[in-house]
Each structure stands twice: as C-alpha cells, then as structure tokens.
Chain A
C-alpha cells in the first residue's frame, strides 16, 4: 500500500542553522511527490513539487527513487519558516493525495 512517512513530529532549530525535514514513501510505481506547508492560521498551500525541481523560499527537495525519499532542505533557516510541513504523494490516480503525518518546524531566534 502507498504510504508516506515523516519520522519527526517536531524539529526545532536556531535561526541560520540548516534544516532537513525527512520524508520517505512506499509506492511501487513513479509517484509525484509534493511538500505542502501550513503557516499559523493560514490554509494548507503547496511549497514544492518534485517535478518542477525549483527552489521556493530557499527550500529544495530532491526525489531519491533508490532510497524512496523526498527530503526537504534549507541551508539557513529563518524564523518565518516556522510552520507545519506535510509531505504528500500522488499515486497517478487523479486528485488523491496521500499525506505524511506532518513535521512541525520551529525556528528559534
């Protein structure tokens, strides 16, 4: 069965430190992977999708099919990065997203 695992519920770093939010998935085919973010009192919004291979707000994520991972990275965390981050998988069946449990990122000053 398709599954997305985010092993860390909470990740706390200091401003300026590097950040890596882990995401592993299980899927036998070629899924599309996403990172969604939810800032305090805001709705869930797309941060990155693997297919676009771009950097958004300094974040990047590389799909590693061998390790079935899609970790989210940022070299220097900012306080405004504090939010809930969700990794999600689309299993090529239209509008169905399978989400991980989410990782709360807290960036301290």
Chain B
C-alpha cells in the first residue's frame, strides 16, 4: 500500500505570492491533517479535513486554508506569503471516523522557503 504522498517536495517562493501544497492520503483513509514544522515552534497543527469538511482548526491566520476532495486528497493554500511561513509542511492521514482516535501516518513533507 502506498504511503502518504506530498507534492511538491520543495518550493521556493517570494513574499506576497501564494502557494498550494498537495497531499494524497493512504488509500481508504478519510482524515487528512496538516502540520507546520519549524525549528522555533516545532510541530504545530494547522487543520484537519474529514469527508471534505474541516473538522478541526489550529491557531493560524486566515491566510492558511485548505480543502479536501471526494477522493480524500487534500490541498492547503497559503496566500500573501511571509518570510515566517518558511517551514516544513507535513500532511498526515488516518482511518478516523467521527470522534474516533486513530493512528496518523505522515508524509515526507513539503519544504517551503519564502525569500
């Protein structure tokens, strides 16, 4: 079974631009969560999508958004990029049903550099 796939692996953007990151979950997984990883703040939860609906949201500004498609693939978008958005963005998928607690499987991440 293929693991969680994130594309692209690396991105370089300039301030003010926007960016879209993609995540393909493990087949059969319906929940996709996104995390931002930085040396200073560590791993921080961005949001979770389940059945095409945002189920949880972390404490990030509205410039960070996401969506999930009917095949469970997910995208996250960051608009008006700032230097501080430079980070490794991780996607994780799980079998989670409503209110279920399941193991999350992580992708390799997308490394975003904002210049």
Q: Is the CB of B31 within 8 A of A95?
A: yes
Residue of A nearest to B29 (CB): A95
Within 8 A of A (CB), among B81-115: 90, 92, 94, 96, 98-109
Which residues in B have their C-beta under 8 angstroms from that of A34? Answer: 103
Tally A-B pairs: CB < 8 A: 65
Q: Is the CB of B42 within 8 A of A95?
A: no
Given known A-B contacts A43-B108, A101-B42, A94 and B103 have beta carbons under 8 A apart: no
B11 within 8 A of A: no
B75 within 8 A of A: no
B33 within 8 A of A: yes
Q: Is the CB of B108 within 8 A of A94?
A: no
Report the Cα distance A95→B45, complex, angstroms: 10
A99 within 8 A of B: yes
Within 8 A of A (CB), among B21-80: 31-33, 35, 42-45, 48, 50, 55-56, 58
Report the Cα distance A102→B107, complex, angstroms: 18
Point out the residue from B44, B90, B98 that lies within 8 Å of A44, measured CB to CB.
B90
Residue of B nearest to A34 (CB): B103
What are some 30 contacts across the A-B interface (CB < 8 A)? A34-B103, A43-B3, A43-B106, A44-B90, A45-B105, A45-B106, A46-B103, A46-B104, A51-B101, A86-B43, A94-B48, A94-B50, A94-B55, A94-B96, A94-B98, A95-B31, A95-B33, A95-B56, A95-B92, A96-B33, A96-B45, A96-B48, A96-B56, A97-B33, A97-B35, A97-B43, A97-B92, A99-B35, A100-B42, A101-B42
Ordered nearest first, which 10 A-B pairs have the shortest CB separation?
Answer: A99-B43, A95-B48, A44-B106, A95-B33, A96-B56, A95-B31, A101-B42, A32-B101, A43-B108, A94-B55
Binding site for B on A (CB under 8 A): 32, 34, 36, 43-46, 49, 51, 86, 90, 92-102
